[in-house]
Amino acid sequence: MAFRICVVCSGNICRSPMAETVLRARLAEQGLAEEFTVDSAGTGGWHVGEPADPRAVAALAAAGYRVGAHDHAARRFARDWFDRYDLVVAMDRGHERELRRLAPTARDAAKVVLLRDHDPDADDQDVPDPYYGDDEGFHACLRIIESGVDGMLGVVVTRS
């Protein structure tokens, strides 16, 4: 059975779809794609059903990731989803707090980790939200996500 990961941000149209794409790509590069299932969701429901932000898609494409504008539909993380996932990766401390508050058990709360906790280059635990900024903010956010995923990958593979 595959190890199941859900990456979570606010609305599931910027950071978490980018992190989902990067994590899938890194796992595929290591020949581990079949051993993992990677999804994403948001803590809020205001973008449910919407595709990824076009600026996120453009940043991913510019960095060489294969992604289409309609490959994603935003979802909201629900309390009963903790049964579906082995690891829930939060993009910032606010998401981490919200997810742990939502967790039905202490065991479920322990599934929640911050993406940047294992990033040796992190000067902050939060992946900044690029939504209200310009295109460069999405490229900068992607670089932070890539570094976070690379730092977290060994932990994910060991934990599975």
Q: What is the mean pLDDT of residues 72-81?
A: 96
Q: Which domains does the chain have, with CATH numbers?
A: 3-159 (3.40.50.2300)
How do residues 38-66 score in pLDDT, each as one tens digit?
999 999 989 888 999 999 999 999 999 98
The answer to whether 128 and 144 have CB atoms below 8 angstroms apart is yes
Q: What is the pLDDT of residue 156?
A: 80
CA distance 51 to 1: 29
Q: What is the mean pLDDT of residues 70-93?
A: 95
| pLDDT band per the 50, 70, 90 thresholds, residue 85 | very high
9 is catalytic: yes
143 is catalytic: no
Using the predicted structure, report yes or no on whether residue 69 has a pLDDT greater than 60: no
Using the predicted structure, report yes or no on whether residue 117 has a pLDDT greater than 90: yes
Query: Among the options 86, 117, 129, 150, which is catalytic?
Result: 129
129 is catalytic: yes
Query: Among the options 4, 6, 14, 15, which is catalytic?
Result: 15
